[in-house]
């Protein structure tokens, strides 16, 4: 199997981290499909690198959870089940609720700084929704939430959330054909921004639960197995 067309040759001597970063992005963009095997030989040849750095990169992505290693079979892109999606979003909710508490306790200056970042992302999101650029929408959706968490300045919370971000983008991209509420995406995120800017802790936390809960409903609806035919 040839390497995916989206793969590009890394300049200089590619490190495991550089390789992992590129492969992660290609996976969340859907260049490597869910369930697809990663062909080490083809990827190493395309990147003009040895198997050592590539295998280290694959190991890192396996530790992140977006690749799965099967003994004597190889490494495959994670296939997200309904249970996986529910778990990812349950942890996202816990982290985002913790982040809102930290932000609200940190004071107005930190809230204002975070809101400034989120406003820029929301402006870009509106442009991409108008252009119907789904990969860009998926990236900006996660960038909004990642920036919310990053606003806390809590390095460990940020690290936990970044691990979830790649899996979440894989989830979001799977909705490209069937997402029923694309026109409401900007409005939903604007509500979160407005509540944060107003310092409404309880209102923001309720909105986050509602927003992520609706996402789980949409995502699991697309992954649900068809019902067996009636007798």
SS3 state at 70: strand
**Dist CA 165 CA 69 (whole Å):** 20
* 133: alpha, beta or left? (left if phi > 0; alpha if psi -120 to 50): beta
Among 133, 148, 63, CA closest to 97: 148
Task: Name which of 47-51, 73-77, 153-157, 206-210 the model is least confident about.
Answer: 47-51
Nearest to 1 by CA among 27, 40, 30: 40
Mean pLDDT of all residues in the chain?
Answer: 85
Longest dimension (CA), the chain: 63
Report the DSSP beta bridge partners of residue 75: 69
- Is the pLDDT at 225 greater than 50? The verdict is no
Contact, 66 vs 73, CB < 8 A? no
Please state, as a whole number, how many other Cβ atoms lie within 10 Å of the Cβ of residue 162.
Answer: 14
Determine which helix (DSSP H) or strand (DSSP E) holds 216, and give its type and residue range: helix 201-223
CA atoms within 13 A on the CB side of 105: 9
pLDDT of residue 229: 35
Q: For residues 14 and 54, what is the distance between their CA atoms, to the nearest angstrom?
A: 9
Confidence band, pLDDT 50/70/90 cuts, at residue 228: very low
């Amino acid at each position: 199997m040839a390497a995916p067309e989206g793969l590009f040759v890394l300049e200089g001597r590619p490190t495991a981290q550089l390789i992992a970063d590129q492969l992660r992005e290609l996976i969340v963009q859907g260049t490597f499909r869910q369930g697809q095997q990663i062909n080490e030989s083809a990827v190493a040849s395309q990147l003009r690198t040895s198997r050592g750095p590539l295998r280290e990169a694959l190991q890192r992505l396996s530790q992140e959870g977006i690749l799965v290693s099967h003994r004597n079979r190889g490494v495959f892109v994670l296939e997200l089940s309904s249970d996986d999606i529910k778990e990812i979003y349950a942890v996202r909710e816990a982290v985002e609720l913790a982040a809102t508490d930290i932000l609200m306790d940190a004071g107005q200056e930190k809230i204002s700084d975070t809101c400034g970042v989120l406003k820029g992302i929301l402006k870009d999101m509106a442009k991409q929704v108008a252009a119907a650029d789904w990969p860009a929408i998926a990236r900006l959706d996660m960038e909004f939430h990642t920036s919310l968490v990053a606003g806390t300045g809590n390095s460990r919370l940020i690290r936990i959330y970044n691990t979830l971000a790649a899996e979440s983008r894989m989830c979001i991209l799977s909705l490209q054909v069937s997402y029923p509420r694309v026109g409401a995406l900007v409005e939903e995120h604007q509500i979160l921004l407005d509540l944060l800017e107003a310092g409404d802790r309880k209102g923001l936390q309720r909105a986050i639960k509602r927003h992520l809960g609706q996402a789980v409903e949409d995502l699991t609806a697309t992954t649900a197995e068809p019902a067996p035919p009636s007798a």
